[in-house]
């Protein structure tokens, strides 16, 4: 019996049943290993394994002595067994882990980015790469409010996450759009039907957790870079950068970081305005000082001219007096 399985196959098996013939059996599994940089818990680390197409992922339990030999984002074949949790997750599903007992192989020739993804990334870099910060500031300095469309999950708290970091909301015109961010079809429907003629910037925000593999869908990423507006992402995962993040005009690891960026942009604008006001005040002061200096100089010249006139008058009078005296005497 073939005991080699992919991540997707295992997920399919255990999504349909709480038990399987694979229970308690040693099996082999392959995929891209991602270090979640967590703490040791119960003598194992909880990391992640993703299949080649990056659409399925599985939490793996890695003992400390094995983890020290692994490199994140490399393709491995592991041996181990299924380990089921004692609790149910928030979606009423049994938590299934793969307990790694041995590293069978490191596939150095398997690349995290395949040719199709590479072509999409290259297509992204073939078009203009705008400075999002300059775009927003230039719009604000024209006395306009940048129009920002934000796509977020239907039951998401991402609005609070980014909004709490953005104190000066009045500088922007922000429209929120609820959409299933676990469905490529839902996001494509929105992008295909929405009128972006008034939009300055599109934003995808989503917190961490499972289901981020949808942002690796090629059709979704291709559509996003074909939009007539720039877009940024605030997708909550540091260790695994999705394809949509790679092709975005600017990428952040969390919705909160998006809010921080929007606020920092306003702060830069305020600093510029303050600097301009300071410059204008200094120029106005210099002009006033220059005018005072000119007035002082004019007053000094007028005073000296007046003194000179008075001196001439006195001199003429003295000459006339002397001439009169000489006339009388002689």
Contact 177, 150 (CB under 8 A): yes
Compute the distance between CA of residue 56 and CA of residue 61 in angstroms, rounded to an integer.
Answer: 17
Residue 54 is predicted with a pLDDT of 74
Residue 279 is predicted with a pLDDT of 80
Residue 1 is predicted with a pLDDT of 47
pLDDT tens sequence across 60-106: 999 999 998 998 888 899 999 988 765 544 444 557 889 999 999 88
Range among 77-81, 146-150, 306-310 rated most confident: 146-150
Residue 319 is predicted with a pLDDT of 86
Residue 91 is predicted with a pLDDT of 46
pLDDT tens sequence across 287-296: 888 888 888 8
What's the average model confidence in pLDDT over 299-315?
87
pLDDT for 138 beyond 80: yes
Compute the distance between CA of residue 325 and CA of residue 317 in angstroms, rounded to an integer.
Answer: 12
Domains of the chain, CATH where assigned: 4-107 (2.40.50.140), 115-270 (3.40.50.9100)
* Closest residue by Cα to residue 48 from 37, 35, 38, 39: 35
pTM: 0.59
pLDDT tens sequence across 35-56: 888 889 888 999 999 888 777 8
């Amino acid at each position: 019996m073939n005991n080699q399985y992919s991540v997707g196959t295992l997920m399919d098996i255990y999504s349909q049943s709480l038990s399987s013939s694979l229970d308690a059996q040693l099996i082999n599994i392959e995929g891209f290993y991602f270090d979640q940089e967590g703490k040791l818990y119960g003598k194992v680390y909880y990391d992640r394994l993703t299949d080649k197409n990056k659409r399925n992922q599985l939490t793996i339990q890695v003992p400390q002595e094995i983890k020290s030999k692994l490199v994140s984002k490399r393709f491995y074949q592991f041996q181990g067994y299924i380990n089921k949790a004692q609790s149910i997750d928030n979606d009423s599903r049994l938590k299934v882990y793969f307990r790694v007992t041995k590293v069978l192989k490191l596939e150095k020739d398997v690349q995290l980015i395949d040719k199709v993804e590479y072509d999409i990334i290259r297509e992204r870099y073939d078009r203009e790469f705008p400075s999002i910060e300059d775009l927003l500031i230039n719009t604000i300095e024209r006395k306009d409010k940048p129009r920002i469309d934000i796509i977020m999950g239907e039951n998401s708290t991402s609005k609070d996450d980014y909004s709490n970091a953005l104190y000066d909301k009045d500088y922007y015109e922000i429209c929120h759009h609820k959409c299933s961010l676990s469905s490529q079809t839902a996001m494509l429907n929105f992008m295909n039907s929405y009128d972006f003629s008034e939009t300055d910037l599109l934003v995808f925000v989503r917190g961490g957790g499972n289901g981020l593999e949808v942002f690796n869908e090629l059709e979704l990423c291709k559509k996003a870079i074909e939009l007539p507006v720039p877009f940024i992402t605030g997708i909550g995962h540091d260790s695994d950068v999705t394809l949509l993040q790679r092709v975005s005009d600017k990428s952040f690891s969390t919705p909160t970081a998006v809010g921080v960026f929007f606020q920092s942009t306003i702060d830069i604008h305020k600093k510029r305005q303050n600097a301009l006001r300071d410059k204008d005040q200094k120029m106005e002061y210099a002009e006033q000082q220059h005018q005072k200096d000119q007035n002082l100089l004019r007053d000094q010249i007028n005073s000296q001219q007046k003194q000179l006139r008075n001196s001439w008058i006195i001199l003429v009078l003295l000459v006339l007096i002397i001439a009169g005296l000489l006339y009388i005497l002689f």
